[in-house]
Copies of this chain bind each other. A is one copy, B any other.
Amino acid sequence: MQRDGSDDTRRGRPTAVTRADVARHVGTSTAVVSYVINNGPRPVAAETREKVLRAIAELGYRPNRLAQALRGQRSHVIGLVLPDISNPFYAELARVIEAVADARGYSLILCNTRQDSAREIAYIRALVDRRVDGVLLISGSTSHELQALAREMEVPAVLLDRSVNYSGDISLVATDNLTGGRIATEHLIGLGHRRVVALTGPARLGNSRARGYETAMREADLAPELHHSAEFDFESTYALAMTLLSEAPPTAIFAGNDIAALSVLRAAADLRIAMPGELAVVGYDNIKEAAFSIPRLTTMDHPIDTLGAVAVEVLLERMDAAADASAPMRLVTPRLVVRESCGAAR
């Protein structure tokens, strides 16, 4: 009888063929099968290798990744922790990260924190318990909370897209939001606007974009005026835009992200404020929708592909490096995309 010691009547799953079956089939040891599969760590006679490969194909053997992970040092899984997968910017980022990870043979565990820093910690614990090889973290937390996170982080990690002032041993990959905020604001100022207000996200978040805005305003001897929405979603930003535009409409708005900018477009339409005639807006992120809105949005573009790819690369690097290696940090510069929402550039 071929069916060996499966006295255990596991019903449900079809009884999987294991490495031992292959070994028996060939008449060799399980070790050799391992060597063949992993190309090492020891050489195998060409002939034996052939036989093993044939048996693998014949029996349809596929290694149990769980067992490999338990025994070996690598699970080939990385965790992706982000604030809100339904935000197109994060979704886009997730898309490229998943693609790069897949190309490198890694699976991705998706953790959607819903902007809750307690959940961030819980997720990171769970990921560590699952022995992920690394964590990609797009945090919604303050710098302070990040310290607590770093403490839970017992695996290599890369902090993505949040240029907080953090000096732990978590690597950082981000676009330079400070410069981005400044570029956007300078564009508006350069167009002749004097009263340009910033419509940004929850105050609790450290916000480099807003600081870039403030810098630009001060340098032009203009008074910064920051408005915070409760959340960074359509509902909140639309509500804020409505009150702002109906009470004391500025001539220009710097929106902290494109969702907010799109909300401003909507609010302006509701209030019969002509755009870009009476109101100029620049957004941030250059999500897909920004190129198809009415009017099309002028916005700051992150090279999302680069950002995601670099993040994965840096993470893989760190996973291979010694634990005490220094945490690299990469900033990539955003780029202004001029479309219609500010009127024609002069």
Contacts and interface: CB of A to CB of B under 8 A. Distances in A.
A86 B91 contact: yes
Overall SS of chain A's interface = mixed
Give the size range of A's interface with the partner.
35 or more
B66 A70 contact: yes
Given A85-B91, A234-B288, A130 B66 contact: yes
A61 to B, nearest CB: 11
Given A66-B131, A155-B13, A322-B12, A85 B85 contact: yes
A73 B66 CA distance: 12
Assembly stoichiometry (copies): 2
A198 interface: no
A114 B99 contact: yes
A108 B126 CA distance: 12
Given A66-B66, A85-B98, 17 more contacts: A11-B322, A13-B323, A62-B128, A64-B70, A65-B131, A66-B70, A66-B75, A77-B130, A85-B91, A86-B94, A88-B91, A99-B112, A102-B111, A107-B109, A262-B292, A263-B292, A265-B294
9 shortest interchain CB distances as A-B pairs: A110-B110, A91-B91, A294-B294, A266-B292, A12-B323, A86-B95, A98-B112, A65-B130, A65-B129
11 contacts: A62-B125, A65-B130, A66-B130, A70-B70, A85-B94, A86-B288, A99-B112, A102-B111, A108-B110, A109-B110, A289-B289
